[in-house]
Chain A
Amino acid sequence: MPAREGTYGLLAEFDTPSDLVRAARQARIDGWRRLDCYTPYPVEEAAEAIGFHRNRVPLVTLVGGLMGLVAMFLLEVWVSVWAYPLNIAGRPLYSWPAFIVPAYEWTILFAGLSAGFGMLALNGLPALYHPLFNAPNFRDGATNDKFFLCLEALDPKFDLLETRAYLASFEPVSVVEVAY
């Protein structure tokens, strides 16, 4: 990411999840689109409030699982029929029922790895730096007991003074400017 200067956004701190959800819902209604909430545990209502309803983790998982299934089954067939055929008590080389178990395990393996790492990738993690950590109260609260609403400077509605007053109307604990 190129180095940026200026303001990332304005960060309002709330004491309860209910206050955060009400503020986020109102901001969304008032036309804000570049906004995000930060909470110490998953608050589904806050995600709904900012209009984040669906994500692509299930799709990534499905694709991963199918890849695992196909990869293992083809490997087993290739090994048992072509690469290293073994005649064991005259059983057929292509004994597909026996191949189900490893293929099943690899379906789960690939799907699980896709779910875990796909989730991280879609979240843009791991990230060594994020401007929000510059906010003095963020690290103290966001992973502990406080709830944050951030209106980002990239939103066309953003204006440092007006937005600050707008956020203050939700009666937050504090509103701070976050620098890049």
Chain B
Amino acid sequence: MATSEIKPDPQLEKRIDPATGEYRVVAPGETFKSVTEKIAGLVLTPHTPMGWFAIFSVAGAGATLLLVAVTWLFLMGTGIWAITQPVAWGFAIINFVWWIGIGHAGTLISAILLLFKQGWRNSISRFAEAMTIFAVVCAGLFPVIHTGRPWLAYWMLPLPYTMNVWPQFRSPLMWDVFAVSTYATISVVFWYIGMVPDLATFRDRSKSKLGQYFYGLISLGWRGSVRHWMRYETAALLLSGLATPLVLSVHTVISFDFAVAVLPGWHTTIFPPYFVAGAIYSGFAMVLTLAIPLRKFYHLEHLVTERHIDNMGKVMLATGFIVAYGYGMEAFMAWYSASHWEAFMFWNRVFGPMGWAYWVLITCNLAIPLTTLWSRKLRTNIGYMFFISIVVNTGMWFERFVIIVTSLYRDFLPSAWGTYRATKWDYMTFVGTLGLFTFLFMLFVRFLPMIPMNEVKLLLPGAKIKPKSTVEAGD
């Protein structure tokens, strides 16, 4: 087949690196000063765009919805949700797993890609980390409110209180407490430490007294000494080295919640890698969902380039295929195990009364993305990638739904079968966390550096040390 001749477009040519034939990570013409002015200017301006207020109020309304739903839940108990026997884990756990999974891409970008020296990650790492933290906030909410008596949530911690009761460390649910709390803490530390030098830039450039005071306090007196920088770099590298096994362990431990149970559909050894791959898949989709509007509305096309969108598409393609392998193995093992229960579970999952959910997930996770993400033309088509990101996020939510609900609602005894239909409170809580997530993210883009200035500066040609230098600054 003859390949179609691509007409040379001078606008496009400039954005492609002749050495590699790939899109540039940072568009040409950026200097140290222009990067500082661009990113600091977004935050330190007294003029907040109207669009920001619009999204902020919609997100705030969503967060209020969550408050209403949770208040009613605390007054009435978990009976207002659809959970009952046999489906005792409904939306709360689906949303928990989905949100935690979304968080994983942030850590992957900030930690794993740093260890692999993937320089292109630098400009997207900060808001991906912010996404992680806000996703973990939303996720962490669900198990706590799912306990029914959230004021007793501290019972999950090994604390010496008067009843002399201690946690049961052999349960995966206890492991979850430690995995998720460690993940949240380390993500916040990593994010904050990474932000300190950029906050120092804000402190030095802020015109308002309040801004100088606020950024002065949280930048901890950072002054950019190279001795400090070297310790900072060591700490960043070590934190990445620690966050990498951590992030892999978090979704692994969450998958143990299922895999350790004896229920067909849950009791499989493929769950840990399959959950982690799915987490990264949905997480990258969420990074795209956030990055594409951000780069458009804040005119960050020079810093978040087609290269980033393209690379994220490639990561999604790879993790998508791992997920596809997981689905395939599930079907294979249902047959190969020769277990009656496994075979029935799989048949019921695909063709049972809730089979539609399975086909939604196959369409959204496999059929649409895995056939089209091969094409670079589509991977660098911003509108298409935004569409794909929404599709994959939907698909991954349905994956969690299918795993939890279709395994539970028809187990061993037909007399114990039931069904599951979410109530309006379930939907309100879920939509509410979407609102809370967006609300926190909007606050982040308004008040904190959404792109790490110091890391982007490292990528500029001016940062190269030349033995006898006569070049211009930041050239």
Interface residue tally for chain B (C-beta within 8 Å):
72
A88 at the interface (CB under 8 A from B): yes
Are B221 and A61 touching (Cβ within 8 A)?
no
User: Which residues of B, 1-39, contact A by the 8 Å Cβ criterion?
Assistant: 31-33, 36
CB < 8 Å A-B pair total: 219
Chain B residues closer than 8 Å to A161, beta-carbon distance: none
Interface locus among B225-233, B280-288, B429-437: B225-233
> Do A50 and B226 contact each other (CB < 8 Å), given the known contacts A99-B169, A145-B36?
yes
Interchain CB contact (< 8 A) of B232 among A22, A40, A79, A119: A119
Contacts of B190 in A (CB 8 A): 112, 116
- Return the contact of B224 from the options A15, A39, A61, A126 (Cβ within 8 A): A39
Across the interface, do A16 and B469 meet the contact criterion of CB distance under 8 Å?
Answer: yes
- Assuming the contacts A50-B226, A116-B190, A139-B204, asked whether A19 and B469 have C-beta atoms less than 8 A apart, the reply is yes
Closest to A37 in B: B226
Report the contact-size class of chain A (Cβ under 8 Å from the partner): 35 or more
Partner of A41, one of B166, B172, B253, B458: B458
Q: How far is the CA of A86 from the CA of B166 in the complex (A)?
A: 10
Instruction: For the complex, give the distance between the alpha carbons of A98 and B168 in Å.
Output: 10
Query: Is there an interface contact between B220 and A52, defined as CB atoms closer than 8 Å?
Result: no
Closest to B227 in A: A52
Q: Which residue, of A15, A36, A58, A143, has the highest number of chain B Cβ atoms within 10 A? A: A143
Q: Which residues of B contact A72 (CB under 8 A)?
A: 178
Contact with A along B146-188 (1 / 0, CB 8 A): 0000000000001000001111111010110011011001100
> A104 contacts which chain B residues (CB < 8 A)?
245, 249
Of the candidates A43, A65, A75, A106, the one having the most CB atoms from chain B within 10 angstroms of its own CB is: A43
Encode B387-429 as 1/0 by CB contact (under 8 A) with A: 0000000000000000000000000000000000000000000
Q: Tell whether A174 is near chain B: CB-to-CB under 8 Å.
A: no
Q: Which residues of A contact B465 (CB under 8 A)?
A: 17-18, 21, 43, 45
Residues in A neighbouring B242, C-beta threshold 8 A: 61, 65, 108, 111-112, 115
Q: Identify the A interface with B (CB < 8 A).
A: 15-19, 21-22, 36-47, 50, 52, 55, 57-58, 61, 65, 72, 75-76, 79-80, 83-84, 86, 88, 91, 95, 98-99, 101-102, 104-106, 108-109, 111-113, 115-116, 118-120, 122-123, 125-130, 132-133, 138-140, 142-145
